[in-house]
Amino acid sequence: MKNAEMTRFDARLPIEQKEFFEYASKIGGYRSLTEFIIQSVQLNAEKIVEEHNKIIASKKDQEIFFDLVYSGGQPNEELKSALKEYNSLL
Protein backbone atom coordinates (compact mmCIF):
# COMPACT_ATOMS: atom_id res chain seq x y z
CA MET A 1 0.00 0.00 0.00
CA LYS A 2 2.05 2.85 -1.28
CA ASN A 3 1.39 6.17 0.45
CA ALA A 4 -1.59 4.71 2.31
CA GLU A 5 -2.58 6.40 5.53
CA MET A 6 -2.09 3.90 8.33
CA THR A 7 -4.03 3.39 11.53
CA ARG A 8 -3.68 1.12 14.53
CA PHE A 9 -6.02 -1.68 15.57
CA ASP A 10 -5.79 -3.24 19.02
CA ALA A 11 -7.63 -6.29 20.28
CA ARG A 12 -7.68 -8.16 23.55
CA LEU A 13 -7.95 -11.93 23.45
CA PRO A 14 -7.26 -14.92 25.66
CA ILE A 15 -3.64 -16.11 25.82
CA GLU A 16 -4.62 -19.54 24.43
CA GLN A 17 -6.19 -17.93 21.38
CA LYS A 18 -3.15 -15.75 20.74
CA GLU A 19 -0.85 -18.76 21.04
CA PHE A 20 -3.05 -20.69 18.63
CA PHE A 21 -2.96 -17.83 16.12
CA GLU A 22 0.83 -17.60 16.47
CA TYR A 23 1.12 -21.33 15.83
CA ALA A 24 -1.11 -21.09 12.75
CA SER A 25 0.89 -18.14 11.42
CA LYS A 26 4.17 -20.07 11.83
CA ILE A 27 2.99 -23.23 10.11
CA GLY A 28 1.26 -21.12 7.46
CA GLY A 29 4.57 -19.49 6.54
CA TYR A 30 3.62 -15.96 7.53
CA ARG A 31 6.36 -13.53 8.53
CA SER A 32 4.45 -12.37 11.60
CA LEU A 33 1.27 -12.77 13.57
CA THR A 34 0.17 -9.35 12.32
CA GLU A 35 0.58 -10.39 8.67
CA PHE A 36 -1.39 -13.59 9.34
CA ILE A 37 -4.24 -11.77 11.07
CA ILE A 38 -4.47 -8.98 8.49
CA GLN A 39 -4.48 -11.39 5.54
CA SER A 40 -6.98 -13.71 7.22
CA VAL A 41 -9.35 -10.90 8.09
CA GLN A 42 -8.97 -9.36 4.61
CA LEU A 43 -9.90 -12.63 2.89
CA ASN A 44 -12.89 -13.17 5.16
CA ALA A 45 -14.07 -9.57 4.72
CA GLU A 46 -13.82 -9.91 0.92
CA LYS A 47 -15.95 -13.09 1.00
CA ILE A 48 -18.59 -11.42 3.19
CA VAL A 49 -18.78 -8.31 0.98
CA GLU A 50 -18.87 -10.39 -2.22
CA GLU A 51 -21.73 -12.54 -0.88
CA HIS A 52 -23.62 -9.44 0.26
CA ASN A 53 -23.18 -7.83 -3.16
CA LYS A 54 -24.41 -11.01 -4.89
CA ILE A 55 -27.56 -10.96 -2.79
CA ILE A 56 -28.17 -7.28 -3.51
CA ALA A 57 -27.56 -7.80 -7.25
CA SER A 58 -29.77 -10.88 -7.22
CA LYS A 59 -32.64 -9.00 -5.59
CA LYS A 60 -32.27 -6.16 -8.07
CA ASP A 61 -32.21 -8.65 -10.98
CA GLN A 62 -35.38 -10.25 -9.61
CA GLU A 63 -37.12 -6.90 -9.43
CA ILE A 64 -36.13 -6.06 -13.02
CA PHE A 65 -37.18 -9.50 -14.27
CA PHE A 66 -40.58 -9.50 -12.59
CA ASP A 67 -41.26 -5.88 -13.51
CA LEU A 68 -40.74 -6.87 -17.15
CA VAL A 69 -42.82 -10.06 -16.81
CA TYR A 70 -45.74 -8.27 -15.19
CA SER A 71 -45.60 -5.20 -17.42
CA GLY A 72 -47.35 -7.15 -20.18
CA GLY A 73 -44.83 -6.30 -22.90
CA GLN A 74 -44.79 -8.43 -26.02
CA PRO A 75 -41.87 -10.82 -26.68
CA ASN A 76 -39.48 -9.80 -29.45
CA GLU A 77 -38.36 -12.09 -32.29
CA GLU A 78 -35.25 -13.27 -30.44
CA LEU A 79 -37.32 -14.37 -27.47
CA LYS A 80 -39.85 -16.14 -29.72
CA SER A 81 -36.98 -17.90 -31.51
CA ALA A 82 -35.44 -18.95 -28.19
CA LEU A 83 -38.79 -20.38 -27.07
CA LYS A 84 -39.12 -22.39 -30.29
CA GLU A 85 -35.59 -23.74 -29.85
CA TYR A 86 -36.26 -24.62 -26.21
CA ASN A 87 -39.51 -26.40 -27.08
CA SER A 88 -37.77 -28.40 -29.81
CA LEU A 89 -35.32 -29.72 -27.24
CA LEU A 90 -38.10 -31.08 -25.00
Tell me whether residue 89 is exposed, middle or buried, using C-beta atoms within 10 angstroms of its C-beta: 0 to 12, 13 to 18, 19 or more: exposed
> What's the pTM value of the predicted model, to 2 decimals?
0.60
Asked whether 83 and 76 are in contact (CB, 8 A), the reply is: no
Tens of pLDDT, residues 17-38: 999 999 999 999 999 999 999 9
User: Residue 42's pLDDT is what?
Assistant: 97
Across the range 62-73, mean pLDDT stands at 82
User: Residue 7's pLDDT is what?
Assistant: 93
